[in-house]
Amino acid sequence: MSKLRLTFGCWNYDRTRALMDGSVQPDGIDLNYLNMPVEETFFRMLRHHEFDASEMSLSSYTMSCFREPRPFIAIPVFPSRFFRHSCIYVNADSGIEKPQDLIGKRIGNPEYQMTAPVWIRGILSDHYGVPVDSVTYYTGGEEEPNRPEKLKLDLPSNIRVEQIGPDKTLSQMLLDGEIDALYTARMPSSFVNGQRRVKRLFENYIDVERQYFRDTKMFPIMHTVVLRREVYEANRWAAQSLYKALIESQRRTYADLNETAALKSMLPWLNAHVEETRKEMGDDFWPYGLDKNRENLRTFLRYSYEQGLSKRLLEPAEIFAPETFESFKI
């Protein structure tokens, strides 16, 4: 019996590398792993549905759930997670010293619907008293001009979003003081090269993010994995098969991180970092599956709704293939 041939767009992560190099094969699937940076993967999948399966922005996927027909179905695997307190950059002359100083300011976001800013806005609202509608957002390219929103926005009137000029970039605008702060996923060049004219809001972000985890038990989810709806409907078993393979690939990465005979990654104190992380976050510090991530997902879905991106409040179980809900032992 011939295998189902699927293309899979995903970046080169340690936790997915076994699928990329072929050492892990999903049952019944001949997988063609296409290694691409996330921006390219998301754009091509959202605009043109080019791949059978792909890594996907959690925010973009959530918004896609309100299209009819729904173009994708997700499986509860999360290739990217990130504490985002470190990703709030401010102009040093803006007068922003603490989170509440952001109120009334001009805030850059590469895209309003981008997952990282959704988490940042939600955390600032929940934990620091900065309402989502208390600032004006400016969207566009961070380093290159003319970046559009990948999905059309239909926001409530109390949320103000403006597109920057066609020759402008958010990184330079932050440096020049044309915006006061930037919520983003990638470190802006003006932070690296700006001679301290751009700084982080939370300069002690490791301590802040560690405390956030202690308070909430959440390691924020950035990306999930989706299948095109028509591929899933024709081969519903494939969701479970791909899910199992991604779990096995991650299991091998956990094993590599625990190796002490030789370092598998070029970090001199990797073992100490792993031990510290396990002590703080547990052995399964990057959990997959619905059950272990319900509160994390419920929080994000609430943020999406509160920020005008979701038309109603979704529940986590609504957005994943039900074939992936049951746990099993191999």
- Residue pLDDT, tens place only, 269-291: 999 999 999 999 999 999 999 99
Domain of 245 in residue numbering reads as 4-81+221-255+288-324
Mean pLDDT, rounded, for 169-187: 98
Assign 214 to helix, strand or coil.
Answer: helix
* Residues 15 and 89 reside in one and the same domain: no
Dist CA 129 CA 112 (whole Å) = 20
* 283 within a domain of the structure (yes/no): no
Mean pLDDT, rounded, for 100-111: 98
* Residues 208 and 239 reside in one and the same domain: no
CATH number for position 226: 3.40.190.10
Other CB atoms within a 10 A radius of the CB of residue 105 amount to 18
Q: Look up residue 292 and give its DSSP letter.
A: G
Assign 33 to helix, strand or coil.
Answer: strand
* 29 within a domain of the structure (yes/no): yes
Domain boundary pick from 195, 216, 237? 216
Dist CA 293 CA 291 (whole Å) = 5
**Residues sharing a CB contact under 8 Å with residue 132, sequence separation 6 or more, in sequence order:** 121, 122, 125, 159, 306, 307
Q: Which helix (H) or strand (E) holds 56?
A: strand 53-57
pLDDT in tens, 122-159: 999 999 999 999 999 999 999 999 999 999 999 999 99
Q: Are 174 and 182 in contact (CB under 8 A)?
A: yes
* 271 within a domain of the structure (yes/no): no
* 188 within a domain of the structure (yes/no): yes
Q: How are the residues of the chain apportioned to helix, strand and coil, as percentages rounded to the nearest 5?
A: 40, 15, 45
* 272 within a domain of the structure (yes/no): no
* Residues 203 and 296 reside in one and the same domain: no
Instruction: Provide the pLDDT for residue 330.
Output: 45
- Using 50, 70 and 90 to split pLDDT, how confident is the model at 97? very high
* Residues 184 and 75 reside in one and the same domain: no
* 267 within a domain of the structure (yes/no): no
Q: Look up residue 189 and give its DSSP letter.
A: H
* 261 within a domain of the structure (yes/no): no
* 12 within a domain of the structure (yes/no): yes
* Residues 58 and 119 reside in one and the same domain: no
* Residues 90 and 190 reside in one and the same domain: yes
* Residues 298 and 231 reside in one and the same domain: yes
* Residues 124 and 68 reside in one and the same domain: no
Q: Look up residue 187 and give its DSSP letter.
A: P
pLDDT in tens, 201-227: 999 999 999 999 999 999 999 999 999
* Residues 242 and 203 reside in one and the same domain: no
What predicted TM-score, i.e. pTM, was given to this entire model?
A: 0.97
Percent of the chain whose predicted confidence (pLDDT) is above 70: 98
Domain boundary pick from 152, 185, 216? 216
Dist CA 138 CA 107 (whole Å) = 6
* Residues 306 and 249 reside in one and the same domain: yes
* Residues 106 and 32 reside in one and the same domain: no
pLDDT in tens, 251-260: 999 999 999 9
Number of domains in the chain: 2
* Residues 138 and 27 reside in one and the same domain: no
Domain boundary pick from 188, 216, 244? 216
Q: How far is CA 154 from CA 11, 62, 151, 221, 307, in A?
A: 30, 14, 10, 24, 11
Closest alpha carbon to 179 in 159, 196, 165, 195: 165
Q: What is the 3-state secondary structure (H, E, C) of 64-97?
A: HCCCCCCCEEEECCCCCECCCHHHEEEECCCCCC
Dist CA 245 CA 288 (whole Å) = 12
